[in-house]
Amino acid sequence: MSQPLDNTFLRTTSRSNSRPSPPSQSQSVQRRITGSPLSTSDFCTLASSRQTSQPYSGQNLSHKLDYPIDSSKGVCNTMAGILSNDAYNALGQYPGKRRQIPFRLFLRLAVIFTAVCTLGYFGVGFLRSSSLSNESAISRAESMDPRLLSEHCDIPHPGRPLIQYVLMIDAGSTGSRIHVYKFNYCKTNPELEDEVFKQLEPGLSSFKDNVDGAAHSLDGLMEVAMRSVPESMHKCTPIAVKATAGLRMLGSEKSNYILNAVERHLREDYPFKLIPRSPVEIMDGKDEGIYAWITVNYLLGTLGDSEHNTAATFDLGGGSTQIVFEPRFELWDKKTGGPKMAPGEHRYEMTYGGQEYTLYQHSYLGYGLMEARKSIKTLIAQELFNAGKFSVDHPCFPPGFHEDVTVGDSKTQITLKGISKEGLKGQSASDACYKQVRKIFNKNAPCLSTPCTFDGVYQPSLAQTFAQNPFYIFSYFYDRTYPLGVRDEFSLNDFKTLTDKVCNYNMGLFAKEEQDEIFAENHYCLDLSYQYALLVDGVGMNESRTVRSTRKIKDAETGWCLGASLAILSENNYCK
């Protein structure tokens, strides 16, 4: 009998159960198989035609595969190869060497073979199907505009869209600003997810004789809206324009012409949905303050809190300033509950998150920073005119400052100039300026309902009804303190120290960029003196009181715009 050479050997199959004669060409089927296991038919033929007296141990079922399986057919062929090769080893590699394979073992091998083939067929098909399904889902997700998705959930609250955009334009006295808010409805109430902000100058009130120019001055802001909101949501994205004190001061006729031109331009030239009620309007000062209060407390998460640990807000704009807080009269006198809030327009009641709020609010028209500047300069000029003087070196202004102010109807020009350190002759410019700005508050006005702040305006005492809760001041308060290194939280004593440094021209106490800021804005001494007086002498805050000044809370702009946008969403459903 010849020995196999390399991987070449002879296999002989026979259907006889008796010992055969030496194999011959006529009595056996000879096959040359090189480097591969037996086929399925070989295995079946061998298993049915050869028997052995020695039981099969099954050791060769651990046969190792050296090539990949890429289909169900490959699985079946591979298993057939394993089983047939093992069977061949059990039957014997050489013709004429008789061995027996038990029928029970053969049946077991056949069952294993059938099961593996079946699992391979369906398993590979399932994996292929799952792979295609996953690839399709990934492809769809990648092609989905991320502006239409939420970072917090995939399924919205019933009856609500997953995403809702709101466009709010703040037409202020010194410029116009757009807020593009992205909300999700993962829960019952809208949750702010993102905000895009842009501002442009000048404001609408600068176009009092050019209404079309006023309308088109917003185009730069609308370009931001067109880029930020997905096209598929343009028609269900509400937009509103709310003008504040600057436009209010133009008078009803001129301001209405401008408002009508703006509304017509937005309706005809842009795809967004103007809100149903007063889409372009001059906002009431009361609403401006309330919306700012809602914004801050919404971002702080204090709305709906049963403890009512809400924050106060004091928004200093260019033309007006608004204060809003929730007086806690029960803290005044725990036995009697203290006095109640006096009736009047200052009282504002609202409900949010199952909690009822009674707020105090007031908007001081004409006491915004830009209007206060005018009032202070006019008062200085009038005092000089009454004294028969036409020029003054004043401590509220820095060296090199020069401005002519007209007094009354006389058209007389009074020149205001800055004062040098030498001209101060040892006196404090800060104290002198502070003394001057306090005069515009009209503290002697009749007070019909006590206690009053200034101009005869009723206000509950902050010291007695709001001593502990946070107090947020922003807008121009922030713009004048942050560039000079005052951050986030500080006391009014710190505010006074900063004012002294600026007004007394102690420039060595400031960094180079802070010095540049002070020289670039030559009203810093006047502005800081007015702001300090407004807080202490105006609304009656204690000098040791800590305030917080910020432009953003949780990456969202403070101010009234977010609160107004939440009010819009509470009134109507826009995207379905």
Catalytic residues: 288
Which whole-number Å values give the CA distances from 460 to 329, 359, 449, 540, in the listed order? 9, 11, 10, 10
Which whole-number Å values give the CA distances from 169 to 112, 172, 221, 249, in the listed order? 74, 9, 8, 19
Termini Cα distance of the chain: 87
Which whole-number Å values give the CA distances from 118 to 123, 126, 133, in the listed order? 8, 12, 22
In angstroms, the CA 441 to CA 121 distance is: 89
Three-state SS annotation for 142-158: HHCCHHHCCCCCCCCCC
CB 465 within 8 Å of CB 540 = no
Which whole-number Å values give the CA distances from 123 to 73, 83, 138, in the listed order? 12, 20, 22
Helices (H), 352-472: 369-386, 421-424, 429-437, 462-465
Residue 78: phi, psi to the nearest 5? -65, -45
In angstroms, the CA 42 to CA 59 distance is: 20
> Read out DSSP for 369-388?
HHHHHHHHHHHHHHHHHHTT
Contacts of 310 (CB under 8 A, 6+ apart): 293, 297, 302, 303, 325, 326, 357, 469
Give me the residues paired with residue 546 across strands. Answer: 491
Question: Which of 383-389's residues contact partners 24+ apart within 8 Å by CB, and which partners?
Answer: 384/414, 385/410, 385/412, 385/414, 389/414
In angstroms, the CA 572 to CA 574 distance is: 6
Contacts of 510 (CB under 8 A, 6+ apart): 484, 485, 501, 518
Nearest to 366 by CA among 290, 441, 444: 441
CB 284 within 8 Å of CB 322 = no
Residue 203 annotated in ligand binding:
no
Residue 206 annotated in ligand binding:
no
The token duo for 254 is: 């001129």
Q: What SS3 state is found at 562?
A: helix
The token duo for 28 is: 């056996």
Residue 322 annotated in ligand binding:
yes
In angstroms, the CA 179 to CA 202 distance is: 17
In angstroms, the CA 444 to CA 64 distance is: 102
Contacts of 65 (CB under 8 A, 6+ apart): 78, 82
Q: What SS3 state is found at 22?
A: coil
Residue 199 annotated in ligand binding:
no
In this structure, how many other beta carbons lie within 10 angstroms of the beta carbon of residue 520? Answer: 9
Q: What SS3 state is found at 228?
A: helix
Question: What DSSP character marks residue 17?
Answer: S
Residue 220 annotated in ligand binding:
no
Annotated binding site for ATP: 318-322
Annotated binding site: 318-322
